[in-house]
Amino acid sequence: MRRVLSAVAFVLLAACWTAAGQMRRSGEPLSLDTAVDDVTNDRIQRLKQWLNAVDRHEPGAHDDAVIDVGKWSNGELRGLWIDSYVLAQLMRNLRLSRFLLHSDDKRRTVDIRYTAWQIGRMRVFACAAAGTLARPDCAQLYIAAKNTDDDLVRLSEHAAAERSKSGDDNYLVRRGALLHADVAMLEPHGVVESFANRSLGAPTIGPQTWRIDISDGRELDVGLSALHWDLARLALDQVRPGASAKPAPERDAMVRAWYRATAAWMQYREDHDTLHLDRARTIFPDDPDILFLSGCQRESYAAPSIQAVTQTLTLPAGLTAGIGSDRAELRLAEGFFKRALAKQPDMGEAHLRFGRVLGLEGRHADAAAEIRQAMTLVTDTPLRYYGELFLGAEEEALGRLDEARDAFDRAAALFPSAQSPLIALSELAKRRGDRAGALAAIQRVFTLPPAGWEGRDDPWWSYHTAQARDAEALVDAVRAPFQREKP
């Protein structure tokens, strides 16, 4: 099968960055480990274009804003990642004048240096993005910059209107996140910078996310991924509830819904990004839905289609796939499902997948018990089908062959056009020495309708995406409050 399973997330360990804005103290020296990033005027122009794109983008629409931003190179996006962060600092404090970025290990610091003209422009942008261009201090900056930009005026009006409506100052960061998520979802990129020679260049400032495109258990391509998800996450890190003096995305319902929806969308597309759920759990460590999706992601990582690649992939020093052995991934999945169930004990689907994982770990009695519990909670027909299939497998592993046969029979009754329960019944009969029964069951497989419209359909084939079956609806629900043109 040549479907591309994309973006097993890679982390360039030396280049995970955090940022901090500071007031410059007169004469303060830079540390010996501090590098300097002299910002070009092109970057300021890019930031201006970005503000315009964020303001005019209709969430969910494949509009000009999505197309334009989708064309930007990773180098341009990396500059934007830095400058949009600085802009967010300035929106809170216009007097900031020094901006430092620290690598996650704190061993490297970069001083982001703007010229006086650039910082003047940035402050005007900050006023517009905060919806305060009419405020006296901002108006003074606007006039001093000799700026007569209708786009900035319109942005300020929109941001101010949003503040009046919602009571918080997050117009730019929320819409910025929605724009970059839409670019990632509506303008999907493959590898944007190929990684043909398998060597790393000098570390760059800002995030680097690598992706592997795989198919049929083979690596197709490895390279840098477009930074749109990184930019979206960075934007939402700046969300500040109305009553809060500093960013607190963990208290924001939209951020929670956005992570849940986008993580589900990634899983539905089998476009896995480990960092995305890592960040989601950092912000929402006890959210049962995010823990559940984390468990599903690790369950997928344990599958042969991914393991076959990660076990044979040779990566240069500094890169890690972040995917362990199948056993290690199953243990992680088990942990996430347990945590999800501790927070929400009636989450039937989590019981179901937890049971499957226990079975894969060889803990068949525990698995059967967990699946039975799931069956008391789930009503959805495909979930009940999975439950009967998994229960049959566990009963068979426990040597309870009659119970296994009954479970497979119930699965076959739930989805009469599915082949998996019939193949399971055939193998079970053969194992019992019932060759006639084995042949009869396999004969039923051969008489099923062919694949296609109203043809053979087996939910087992979509098990690794079934947990995200409502992804589109979740994404739509996140976008809806921000849409100006209601569908």
Partner 1 sequence: MSARIAGLCVAVACCSASLSQQPAFSTKVEAVRVDVLVLENGRPVTGLTPADFDIADNGVPQQVDFVSFEQIPLNVVLALDMSDSVAGERLEQLRDAGGAVLEGLAKNDQAALVTFSNVVSLGAPLTADVAAARHALADAHGFGETSLVDGVYAAMMVGESDVGRALLIVFSDGLDTASWLHSDAVLESAKRSDVVAYSAAIGTVGATQFLRDLSAFTGGTLYKIETTKDLRATFLQILDEFRHRYLVSYTPQGVSKDGWHRLDVRVRNHKAAIKARPGYLAGRAP
Site residues (vs partner 1, CB under 8 A): 1-3, 215-218, 304-305, 307-308, 311-312, 389, 399, 419-420, 423-424, 426-427, 430-433, 435-436, 438-440, 442-443, 445-446, 450-451, 456, 458, 460-461
Q: Which of 433, 408, 432, 434 lies closest to 422 in space, CA to CA? A: 408
The CA distance from 313 to 315, in Å, is: 6
Q: Is 253 or 436 the residue whose CB approaches partner 1 more closely?
A: 436
Print burial letters for 90-103: b (CB count within 10 Å at least 16), e (below 16).
bbbebebbbbbbbb
> CB 200 → partner 1: shortest distance, Å?
25
The pair of structure tokens assigned to 457 is 């359909």
Q: Cα dihedral angle (267, 269, 270, 273), rounded to 10 degrees?
A: -60
The CA distance from 290 to 263, in Å, is: 8
> CB 311 → partner 1: shortest distance, Å?
7
> CB 421 → partner 1: shortest distance, Å?
8
Burial class (CB in 10 A: 0-12, 13-18, 19+), 334: buried
* Strands, sheet with 193-194, edge to edge from the N-terminal-most edge strand: 193-194, 218-224, 209-215, 10-12, 319-320
The answer to whether the CB of 283 falls within 8 A of the CB of 259 is yes
Q: Is 78 or 384 the residue whose CB approaches partner 1 more closely?
A: 384
Q: What value, to the nearest 5°, has the Cα angle with vertex 170 and ends 169 and 176?
A: 150
Q: Is 293 or 441 the residue whose CB approaches partner 1 more closely?
A: 441
**CB under 8 Å to 292, separation ≥6 — which residues?**
336, 337, 340, 347, 349, 350, 353, 467
Q: Is 4 or 186 the residue whose CB approaches partner 1 more closely?
A: 4
Q: Is 29 or 399 the residue whose CB approaches partner 1 more closely?
A: 399
Q: What value, to the nearest 5°, has the Cα angle with vertex 169 and ends 164 and 171?
A: 90
Cβ count near 14 (within 10 Å): 18
The pair of structure tokens assigned to 434 is 């019932």
> CB 461 → partner 1: shortest distance, Å?
5
Q: Is 205 or 309 the residue whose CB approaches partner 1 more closely?
A: 309
Q: Is 243 or 436 the residue whose CB approaches partner 1 more closely?
A: 436
Q: Is 43 or 356 the residue whose CB approaches partner 1 more closely?
A: 356
The answer to whether the CB of 90 falls within 8 A of the CB of 126 is yes
The CA distance from 266 to 271, in Å, is: 5
> CB 457 → partner 1: shortest distance, Å?
10
Q: Is 100 or 448 the residue whose CB approaches partner 1 more closely?
A: 448
| Per-residue H/E/C for 235-250 | HHHCCCCCCCCCCCHH
> CB 314 → partner 1: shortest distance, Å?
13
Inter-CA distances, 138 with 65, 86, 90, 123, 421, Å: 27, 17, 12, 8, 68
Q: Is 2 or 486 the residue whose CB approaches partner 1 more closely?
A: 2
